[in-house]
Structure 1
């Protein structure tokens, strides 16, 4: 069985994934390729830096599970599943998620990580998640921070849309990308770093994008989705089955599970291949947007002075649902370096701020945002 390797790069950060199962490296290439660099490399050349060895190997998983259970360990919720974690005296971390039949062996001091599991899809998902968090750790140590924002690039301008859940970040970014000719940089968060010239550079955060059913329909994307589904393709496997059923039956009313809206989960590359959008790989922040969505509202500018708050920075050591059980942050404090974060905050405060309300009429929203972009 041949070994394949994919190297992922973002600014100065790099992680290499090697596996005897091509599903794993192909998944990483697809997932990271549109926004970060993802390229096949000769496995024989992989000798330095952070390396993730991923195996679809039930026996290897069982050996690691036995190792954890035989030693003192702690319990965590990791990727929405119970996980057991044991740490050796030399700092080596072994973790298992029995419900997913996934095991991890991490050597934070060397950057070597092993992933083993029974199912190729689960191993692929886990490996991509760990690779992203390993890149995140490297970027945070290099002075980057993470903003809770959507972003688009329009010519020489990069617009960042801020707000809590439901504020309209995704609606604003996708309307600009589908109707106003912008290049999509990020759906929900971006890496940001201040440079020596007083600019803030932003990079994408690759992730499956959560898009509401009503927004898909309003932006004219629903028929493109159903055509792909009818052809046998699929959206991201983390998508709730109720969303898949609704898409297949044409029921585009918002779906709720308690107080959480269930949304379609779009692969990064599907923005290009399914929706015909273009993706930006970096930008330099020029404008801050603070949208609000109100049913029946006429698009309008607010006469207010919005400002960034702590909630506009993702301040976990790793992405929210994934506590750093494997030591990938390697000493980085929550949210990265506080001075770097404050520097970014101070520079962003100097940029033009635009607060506005959008309704559910996406044609009017597109006209409004087009005029705002030209102003």
Structure 2
């Protein structure tokens, strides 16, 4: 048995510790995945005395024992992280679950803030532990009045610029171009926000960032990624194997799912933004302005007219969060994207901040110069 190791995460007033008694890979993964975004840091095991805890071990026998316990009693079935999950609840509120396809078994004590995951291999256990730790932080922040916006974000001197829009509108393009030119990247697709006095405070949502092959090429980052992969480094394991194959083969055109509705994208670890691309990460700030980009390949970057303002689709909703339903009782009935009161308070504060609608073309250098000018003025 290896030496027990632990990583503690903090976001706002919420914290959780990831502990493993069998694999340092698990806690190293949490340290890498959450990094500065959630103040991830090693902690001595003897200093863990209270607070939410995820214990994650590579232990085939413990997995078999929990899996057998679930399947031999009455249980429900759900889909969690796109995998079949069998769940059993006892009269104390403890939830035991097994994901047969992933060879993962769980035991959750929601009221005690304790969750255990066992599996047969280090990487699936590490992925599950990070996912659960993130869900525990989310639940704590939701209880504290935070809500989730569907937006990218960059920060400069503590002031945050949020970019809104549906898929393909240019949120990621705007964020990465600004992050490459002096701003700090705070989020690729979603952020936690909370109304505090006259301000709207922002916290990042750590996740692998999805970047299309075409956008990666337009940003001048394609060759960096390809050379890293050829040298033996890896992108996030949720990336589709066809994307990796395309990168290694030098293909730069977009890849699509078989139904043609969804692009298969490069999945970038948070720590790869500073390490591979030289883009620094931000850990929070206050919202200073809102940006509503639109991509027009034939256009030169410019301000545009229109009445686009913050709306209900710009908040994450329960339907968008159904990949991770509250199977383990962590949110205890809370809306996984935030309550109506929190949303209303945020919307009211954001409505009075400067708004800009912009069109971006396919000239990345021109886009970057234009966006930097707009951001500086805001």
Q: Which TM-score applies when normalising by structure 2?
A: 0.96
Matches within 5 A, 1:42-191: 42-178=44-180, 180-191=181-192
The answer to whether the aligner puts 1:194 opposite 2:234 as a matched pair is: no
SS of equivalent to 2:126: helix
CA deviations 1:198-238 (Å, max 9, x no partner) are 10010110000000111111111112112211221110011
Q: Structure 1 residues 115, 156: closer, same or farther in 2, change over 3 A?
A: closer
Aligned 8 A contact 2:213 2:266 in 1: yes
Distance 1:36 1:334 in 2: 19
How far apart are 1:99 and its partner, in Å? 0.3
Q: Greater CA deviation, 142-151 or 306-315? A: 306-315
Distance 1:101 1:350 in 2: 50
Aligned length: 373
Aligned 8 A contact 1:290 1:356 in 2: yes
The answer to whether the aligner puts 1:268 opposite 2:277 as a matched pair is: no
CA deviations 1:5-60 (Å, max 9, x no partner) are 11111110010111021000000000111311111112122121111111101111
The aligned counterpart of 1:231 is 231
The aligned counterpart of 1:12 is 13
SS of equivalent to 2:346: helix
CA deviations 1:161-190 (Å, max 9, x no partner) are 011111111011001111x31111111111
Aligned 8 A contact 1:317 1:332 in 2: no
The aligned counterpart of 2:254 is 254
Aligned 8 A contact 2:159 2:286 in 1: yes
The aligned counterpart of 2:313 is 311
Unaligned runs of 5+ in 1: none
Distance 1:318 1:132 in 2: 16
How far apart are 1:333 and its partner, in Å? 3.0
Unaligned runs of 5+ in 2: none
Q: Structure 1 residues 106, 317: closer, same or farther in 2, change over 3 A?
A: farther
The aligned counterpart of 2:372 is 370
Q: Greater CA deviation, 321-330 or 112-121? A: 321-330
Aligned 8 A contact 1:77 1:83 in 2: yes
Aligned 8 A contact 1:318 1:324 in 2: no
Aligned 8 A contact 2:139 2:336 in 1: no
Match of 1:347 among 346, 349, 358: 349
Distance 1:130 1:149 in 2: 23
Matches within 5 A, 1:327-338: 327-338=329-340
The answer to whether the aligner puts 1:221 opposite 2:221 as a matched pair is: yes
Aligned 8 A contact 1:317 1:336 in 2: no
RMSD: 1.4
How far apart are 1:157 and its partner, in Å? 2.9
Distance 1:182 1:277 in 2: 8
Distance 1:24 1:60 in 2: 16
Aligned 8 A contact 1:256 1:262 in 2: yes
Q: Structure 1 residues 317, 191: closer, same or farther in 2, change over 3 A?
A: farther
How far apart are 1:156 and its partner, in Å? 4.9
Q: Structure 1 residues 96, 318: closer, same or farther in 2, change over 3 A?
A: farther
How far apart are 1:371 and its partner, in Å? 2.4
The aligned counterpart of 1:280 is 282
Distance 1:167 1:321 in 2: 23
Aligned 8 A contact 1:136 1:318 in 2: no
Distance 2:158 2:241 in 1: 40
Distance 1:329 1:69 in 2: 25
